[in-house]
Structure 1
Amino acid sequence: MSDNLNNNTGLRGTTILCLKKGNEIVIAADGQVSLGNMVMKSTARKLRTLCNNKIVAGFAGSTADAFTLFERLETKLEKHSNQLVRSAVELAKDWRTDKYLRRLEAMLIVADKNNILIVSGNGDVIEPENNIAAIGSGGFFALSAARALMSIDTPLSAEEIALKSMHIAADICIMSNHNIIIEKVI
């Protein structure tokens, strides 16, 4: 797992999916924590709400590193009046230039009512196309399923699409499970 994280070629061991449909933005995470090829925990909570539920965030990678990033993001949000894009860019700049932060092995998806962003240790702040973002080992599976469900004329809500997509990812990715937690942006 460490080799993939250090090379930033892909984070393993989780699935985080965020999507927007209409005015509804949701973020979903599975609950599996893996150490190598062993499941250490199946009910982990990989999502956080910030700014009185106006911002939601999820992480893939090292838990301790992700909590460090959450704390840094909260500080940036306080400093920049809860402006998500500016705070995420400032966090990414620090992450890229700070010797300590550069060693952190995690990625974040953050969202408010207007934005969905992926923040990486490479200094990237990516606004995904089609209002769908995913990270982690099952991220591409969840992303593909969500894109397919969003491309058809479906009465499913954002939460229902996220849940179905996460279950599809969990069926395929051995590093993810069906213990899905969903948070909504308020």
Structure 2
Amino acid sequence: MGKIEFHATTICAVRRPNGDICIGGDGQVTMGETTIMKNNAKKVKKIYGDRVLTGFAGSVADAFSLTDKFEKKLEEHSGNLKRAAVDLAQIWRSDKGARSLEALMIVMDRDDLLVISGNGEVIVPDMDVVAIGSGGNFAYSAARALYDNTELDAESIVRKSLEIASSICVYTNDHISVEKL
């Protein structure tokens, strides 16, 4: 019997030039290709004294572990998001135990929006819109269109983009949770 894959999730983040920032995710956790294990998982949260937003896609347990490690790195670096992200990426890539963790993270504060991967990459997106996970491309396309062509606030863009993704992607549902600063 092969490894059972948990497909989880779609996360979308938007930062408007006025400092309006939001991250959101759907609630679905899928086991294998056919079984929905949970409908209302929360995969976004505020950390570091409610000054940083984070969301994850991938293995839920792995993502919680990475979020905890990231928050510790934020504390070590006095809230410097980029330094904490680089340190986490280095640990993730080099530590034998952490290397097996399967997840992607979006982290953001009022100044920075980053994607952290298990390959040791810290990606600064070209735009103030990013999405990851199974339905990430669907949410990203919708968010880009809304960001470029409307005056909607960050939360409205995130919610609408995730709703659109949930109507297309079988691994994304419409139980949306958001966090904003």
Q: TM-score when scaled to structure 1?
A: 0.91
Map of 1:8 onto structure 2: none
1:41 equivalent in alignment to 2:33: no
> 1:1-186 to 2 correspondence within 5 Å?
12-22=7-17, 23-36=19-32, 37-152=34-149, 154-185=150-181
Deviates more, 1:122-131 or 1:11-20: 11-20
Q: Deviation per CA, 1:41-99, whole angstroms, max 9, x where unpaired?
A: 10111012111211010111111111110111111111110111100000001111111
In the aligned structure 1, how far is the partner of 2:46 from the partner of 2:155? 16
**RMSD of aligned Cα (Å):** 1.7
Q: Which segments of 5 or more consecutive residues in structure 1 lack a partner in the other structure? A: 6-10
How far does residue 164 in structure 1 lie from its aligned partner after superposition? 0.7
Q: Contact conserved, 2:11 with 2:132, CA < 8 A, in 1? A: yes
Task: Name the amino acid aligned to 1:39.
Answer: I
Task: Name the amino acid aligned to 2:38.
Answer: K
How far does residue 13 in structure 1 lie from its aligned partner after superposition? 2.8
What number of residue pairs does the alignment pair up? 178
Q: Which segments of 5 or more consecutive residues in structure 2 lack a partner in the other structure? A: none
Q: Contact conserved, 2:7 with 2:31, CA < 8 A, in 1? A: no
Q: Could you list the runs of 4 or more consecutive aligned residues of structure 1 that deviate by over 6 angstroms after TM superposition?
A: none
Task: Name the amino acid aligned to 1:42.
Answer: N
Q: Deviation per CA, 1:98-155, whole angstroms, max 9, x where unpaired?
A: 1110000111100000111000000010011111111100001000000011111x23
Q: Contact conserved, 2:142 with 2:164, CA < 8 A, in 1? A: yes
Q: TM-score when scaled to structure 2?
A: 0.94
Q: Deviation per CA, 1:155-182, whole angstroms, max 9, x where unpaired?
A: 3111111111110000000000001111
Aligned sequence identity (%): 47
Task: Name the amino acid aligned to 1:19.
Answer: V
In the aligned structure 2, how far is the partner of 1:150 from the partner of 1:89? 28
